[in-house]
Amino acid sequence: MAIRDIVLIGDPVLTRTSEPVAGITEDIVRLARDMVETLHAAPGVGLAAPQVGVNKRLIVVDVSVGEDPDALHILVNPEIVTREGEAVCEEGCLSVPDIKEKVVRPYRVVVRGLGLEGRPVEVEAEDLAARAFCHEIDHLDGILFVDRLSALKRKLIRRKLKKSAASAKTP
């Protein structure tokens, strides 16, 4: 296993629609395991393959951040099949450093996909876990959480990101 570099906002890999995983090869298993390690090291609660530069439909979600093995979900070709309720909560993204904003998400979702053994998996998630699944599946469609904010909020965030990029360049 290895920790991979996390791609940041501005990279086109984050705005593309990712391809379905055609078969669970050794490369896919290695990618998934690296993503788990990268997620736990970050630390974060979810990571999608485009965030490590791979436009494939693969996500990892772990709201326990490595504390509870039962909370870790690795899903290939995930799809939300049920959405219920609504929740507003602050959200961030490992690809959008230092930005946190309130985003509306369903309170409960049912997600279907394949596990790494190739068997169908169905996960029921609520609250933070539901939010994480929605956020990560958005990544597979080239959508960042900031894209779900108002035009004004997006403008302010763009300005803030530009400023922090400029200050990173000047010592």
Q: Closer to Ni ion by CB, 25 or 43: give it.
A: 43
* Residues 6+ positions from 105 with CB-CB distance below 8 Å: 86, 87, 88, 89, 91, 130, 131, 134, 135
Span of 62-70, 93-101, 110-118, 153-161 interacting with Ni ion by CB under 5 A: 93-101
Which tokens is 21 given?
């995983």
Interface size with Ni ion, residues (CB under 5 A): 1
Distance CA 62, CA 43 (A): 10
DSSP string, 8-39: -TT-GGGTSPPBPP-S--HHHHHHHHHHHHHH
Least distance in angstroms from the C-beta of 47 to Ni ion: 7
Q: Closer to Ni ion by CB, 25 or 64: give it.
A: 64
Q: Enumerate residues 119-158 that contact Ni ion by CB under 5 A.
A: none
Q: Closer to Ni ion by CB, 14 or 21: give it.
A: 14
Least distance in angstroms from the C-beta of 139 to Ni ion: 6
Q: Closer to Ni ion by CB, 114 or 145: give it.
A: 145
Asked if 93 touches Ni ion (CB under 5 A), the answer is yes
For the stretch 71-87, what's the b/e string if a residue is b when 16 or more beta carbons lie within 10 angstroms of its beta carbon? ebbbbbbbebeeeeeee
67 is known as an active-site residue: no
Least distance in angstroms from the C-beta of 150 to Ni ion: 19
Q: Contact positions toward Ni ion, by CB under 5 A? A: 93
Active-site residues, by number, are 136
